[in-house]
Chains A and B, each alone.
Chain A
Amino acid sequence: MKKLIFGGMMMASLMASTVAYAATDLTMWYHGAGNDVEKKIVMGLIEDFNKSQADFAVKLEQFPQAAYNDSVTAAAVAGKLPDILDVDGPVMPSWAWAGYMAPLTVDPAAYAKFLPGPIGKYNGKVYSVGLWDAAVALVGRKSVLEANGIRIPTVDKPWTGEEFDAALLKIQASGKFEYPFDLGMAWKGEWYPYAFSPFLQSFGGDIVNRDGYKTADGTLNGAEAVKFGKWWQSLFTRKLVPGTSQSPADRDTGLASGKYALSWNGNWAALGMVDKFKDDVVFMPAPDFGKGPKIGAASWQFGVSAASKHQDGANKFIQFALQDKYLTQFSDGIGLIPPTPESAAASNNYKAGGPMEVFFGLSKAQATLRPVYPGYPVAAKVFEKALSDLANGSEVQATLDAAADEITKDIEKNKNYTK
């Protein structure tokens, strides 16, 4: 009898170990290498998922953000994409079009309450969902604005373009600042289209015509875009903002050190300003240049690789990650905007009365996706160069014509980005 019991126990433990061994490995690539806080949260999420079920075991490989897209592209060429990958929102259509990503099969109820920015939709299908969003605001000090007799704008009543211009001129006239406003020209790359294309959109233009995404002609070089271009250039000629040669040091410390009165900056830098200026700091919405106040949307999101042989498991993981508690953890850990009202209410910084509560409202009210088409990475670089050239004095209409032409030619060369 003892032998029988012992034999049964051995069999049971063998079966249990076989079940544990049978879990299928899912590889996941993430862009956060070098950020210890982010790594801990992602690892915690993976650990929870792996414990929650026995079918799949997610394994993490981290990449530095600045090199992530190139690594994914190289892996796609070699046919070595992982099961789960994260993708920067505006880049997603390019990867979906190139066949790197598969549409998600996650239950839409899992992201039904999300802000629009973190949902990566292309061609009517959801390819990625983000656990957070990012937003940009005008950052300043109440005391400075009040001392200059400037109204503090709100989400409900933002500055008009004229009010914004007048505010900058008043601050400049006070003579107390090297520049009244800092756009962050020292930050290159994606910052330009993310942070500055909403100004163009508020004027009524855009990087590309979103009606079919077949041309940029008329949107990037039409009357509204030229009006934007002239205003943009005038910021530099009137010495209201530092130019393209701004040092990264000034960008990082200029507002805190009193060099600039206002700054155009993201929520990721907001806590530093709260620490520095306490109650005096104020986060304000983008000005309305005619077509409504607008800011950029969409940050990093999770998606499933088209090469994955276990897309069911990958989708299961993403659905698991969309729980409010993880959204709150990411927000508390790395300061980004929680995408649901519940996760925002539970977060340290975005709850009612929290120091960055305003960003959730800004994201909800003003967020505008960058053009959702596969050619965006090309258009973004063209747009960056055009704005940089305008800042350095190039002729507005000619510069925008050339940029629109380059973007349109790229679309034509790729046959309207249709397969």
Chain B
Amino acid sequence: MSTPTTSLKPSAWRYVPLVLVALIFVFPLEFMIMSSLKPSEQLLADSNSFRAFLPVGDISLNNYVAAFARAPVALFLFNSVFITATTVALALFFCSVAAFSFVFLQWRGRDTIMTVLLTTLVIPIEIIAVPLLLLVNQLPWVGLHGFSTGWLNSYQVQIIPFSADALTVYLFVQYFKDLPKELIEAARIEGASWWQIYYKVIMPLAGPVTATAAILKFLAMYNQFLWPLMVTQAEEYRPVMVGLQYFFQLNIAWGEVMAYLTLITVPVLIFYLLLQRAFIASIASTGIKG
């Protein structure tokens, strides 16, 4: 009887630090969700004690009702999910194709362009925001209302400038480099075109890096604030992060802020949970960290 006991003890102890680390990450979410259920006065009073993490006191969904009354929350959520999902899909395609070209095709200037592309990794959006604003303000567009000039107040202005980026290309390049070259050679011998190799051979093997790139891109896009603030004067195109500012009035209703934050965290959690296995596999195999 003593053998099982001794073998259980070490593994149980191993969980103690893991649980403690997990709690560090869970507590802010717990605080946010519990606070979203309390009136602002109680929320503030509880914030200095452990009650902040417990569903105690005057619990209700009133903050959620008030949040929907204060701002068009559903519209902001739709905008963010639409903009983010479209951008992620476009970025995965464009960047994987570009990476495929950089790794498997031979063309003049390839290494130089790759180097130039990588240097853009160190340029933050704040540096290029104003020139980019001036550029998109002059671009033509053909939409449902016919031809127009200037992309301000639109979805495309929040999607197209971010539909390819150096980090995502770099992730795919690093992953593709580790794939066996024999696969490509075999496919070429069989008469496959480059497009068929990309679509039928390489991308089916690129699940982990696709998940990693998707999550990183999703977070970057979903958390965008400065750019949408600059290019959306009309409420109908604003995303959730600009919408968050609706809740910061002279007298801040913290309960409503927490309710709004809880609501806008849901899409992020769902997206991560859907891709977490592939994400973890990618980290384990490539050492890439988000």
Contact = CB atoms under 8 A, between A and B. Distances in A.
Interface of A: 29, 33-36, 61-67, 70-71, 74-75, 77-80, 82, 247-249, 252-253, 257, 266, 268-269, 272
A139 to B, nearest CB: 14
Q: Identify whether the interface residues of A are mostly helix, strand, loop, or mixed.
A: helix
A61 B234 contact: yes
A249 B47 contact: yes
Interface in B215-259: 226, 229-231, 233-235, 242-243, 245-252, 254
B248 A65 contact: yes
B245 A78 contact: no
A252 B44 contact: yes
Given A70-B230, A268-B250, A78 B134 contact: yes
A67 B233 CA distance: 11
A266 B246 CA distance: 21
Interface string B37-78: 000010011011000000000000000000001110000000
Contacts, number: 80
B71 A78 contact: no
A67 B133 contact: no
A272 B248 contact: no
Contacts of B246: 33-34, 64
Contacts of A36: 69-70
A2 to B, nearest CB: 42
B266 interface: no
A255 to B, nearest CB: 13
A62 B249 CA distance: 14
Nearest to A67: B245
Closest 3 CB pairs of A and B: A34-B246, A64-B245, A74-B230
Contact of B233 (A79, A80, A247): A80
Q: Identify whether the interface residues of B are mostly helix, strand, loop, or mixed.
A: helix
B231 A34 contact: no
A85 to B, nearest CB: 11
15 contacts: A33-B71, A33-B235, A36-B69, A61-B233, A64-B242, A64-B248, A74-B133, A78-B150, A80-B152, A249-B47, A249-B254, A252-B251, A266-B250, A269-B251, A272-B251
Nearest to B153: A80
Contacts of A66: 245, 248
Interface in B242-289: 242-243, 245-252, 254
Contacts of B130: 77
B245 A65 contact: yes
A65 B249 contact: yes
Contacts of A67: 229, 242, 245
B148 interface: no
B47 A77 contact: no
Contact of A34 (B71, B152, B254): B71
B137 interface: yes
A271 to B, nearest CB: 10
B253 to A, nearest CB: 10
Given A74-B231, A75-B233, A253-B45, A268 B137 contact: no
A74 B44 contact: no
A78 B150 CA distance: 9
A77 B229 contact: no
B250 to A, nearest CB: 5
B44 A77 contact: no
A253 B69 CA distance: 25
Contacts of B134: 77-78
B278 to A, nearest CB: 36
Nearest to A252: B44
A77 B150 CA distance: 13
Contact of B133 (A64, A77, A252): A77
B137 A78 contact: yes
B44 A34 contact: no
Contact of A71 (B71, B229, B252): B229
B172 to A, nearest CB: 33
A147 B35 CA distance: 37
Interface in B137-164: 137, 150, 152
A293 B248 CA distance: 31
Contacts of A268: 250-251
A74 B230 CA distance: 5
Nearest to B70: A34
B235 A61 contact: yes
A247 B254 CA distance: 13
A77 B138 CA distance: 12
Contacts of A272: 251
Contacts of B231: 74
Nearest to B225: A67
B53 to A, nearest CB: 15
B44 A249 contact: yes
Q: Which of A35, A64, A272 has the most CB of B within 10 A?
A: A64
B235 A253 contact: no
B85 to A, nearest CB: 24
Contact of A248 (B137, B233, B252): B252
B91 to A, nearest CB: 24
Contact of B47 (A64, A79, A247, A266): A247
B280 to A, nearest CB: 36
A209 to B, nearest CB: 31
